[in-house]
Amino acid sequence: EAGVAQSPRYKIIEKRQSVAFWCNPISGHATLYWYQQILGQGPKLLIQFQNNGVVDDSQLPKDRFSAERLKGVDSTLKIQPAKLEDSAVYLCASSSRLAGGGNEQFFGPGTRLTVL
Amino acid sequence: GENVEQHPSTLSVQEGDSAVIKCTYSDSASNYFPWYKQELGKRPQLIIDIRSNVGEKKDQRIAVTLNKTAKHFSLHITETQPEDSAVYFCAASTGNQFYFGTGTSLTVIP
């Protein structure tokens, strides 16, 4: 089966500019996650969708970050305006419910954002 | 919310030796514990996982143990090889959300 797709793979912008990332999850996966991974750290959850509804966005900096998953499939994450500290890899992941509970999560290749 | 701690942050072993990485979690509701391997510049890849109704799981050279009472779980890699060099992340899930450890950079010295 095809994996999680993300684009672009790399993006360089100047601070105060806007940027958008796109994610296409594994077919049939209802849950979609956006993570921020700063160099040398573990992934930090930004937002989690179940179908087209938001499950958790408690760590999303809502003054500058937004995300949507309008049709319950693809998702976009936007940063406006970007700050230097937003430089990171943005990982999208999707998961399916396992029999007996729990979810197995698969990651996309990520988008490496550099803010100058 | 859940808090996952991971140790050590770096680990160097000689090829052929074993490597052990340990994680603790705080939320007793967590019931799924995956381990991911992330090579430089690549995505995290699931290498093994364990559910709360199991104490140990093994897949060739990789094993994971879980102690629910103490709220800790460990990754064991035996007969390490240079290609095992990577960053390893543990995670704990309450069934929908995932909380990651800070990662362990493993270096296997030939």
Q: Could you read off the pLDDT tens digit of each residue along chain B, which spans 110 residues? A: 788 999 999 999 999 999 999 999 999 999 999 999 999 888 999 999 999 888 999 999 999 999 999 999 999 999 999 999 999 999 998 877 788 999 999 999 99
Q: What is the pLDDT of residue B1?
A: 75
User: Which chain A residues contact residue B46 at CB under 8 A?
Assistant: 104-106
Q: What is the pLDDT of residue B7?
A: 96
Distance between CA atoms of residues A37 and A64, nearest Å: 17
The answer to whether A9 faces chain B, any CB pair under 8 Å, is: no
Distance between CA atoms of residues B90 and B95, nearest Å: 15
Cis bond upstream, residue B110 (ω within 30): no
Residue A1 has pLDDT above 70, yes or no: no
The answer to whether B40 faces chain A, any CB pair under 8 Å, is: no
Listed range (A9-18, A36-45, A96-105) with the worst mean pLDDT: A96-105
Query: Is the CB of A106 less than 8 angstroms away from the CB of B102?
Result: no
Answer for the pair A60, A68: CB distance below 8 angstroms, yes or no: no
What is the overall mean pLDDT for chain A?
A: 91
Q: What is the pLDDT of residue A105?
A: 87
Positive or negative torsion for Cα B21, B22, B27, B29 = positive
Distance from CA of B90 to the nearest CA of A (A): 9
Distance between CA atoms of residues A34 and A23, nearest Å: 9
Output A27 or A97, whichever has higher pLDDT. A27
The answer to whether B35 faces chain A, any CB pair under 8 Å, is: no
Answer for the pair B89, B64: CB distance below 8 angstroms, yes or no: no
The answer to whether A105 faces chain B, any CB pair under 8 Å, is: yes
Position A91 confidence tier, pLDDT thresholds 50, 70, 90: very high
What contacts A12, CB < 8 A, 6 or more positions away?
A113, A114, A116
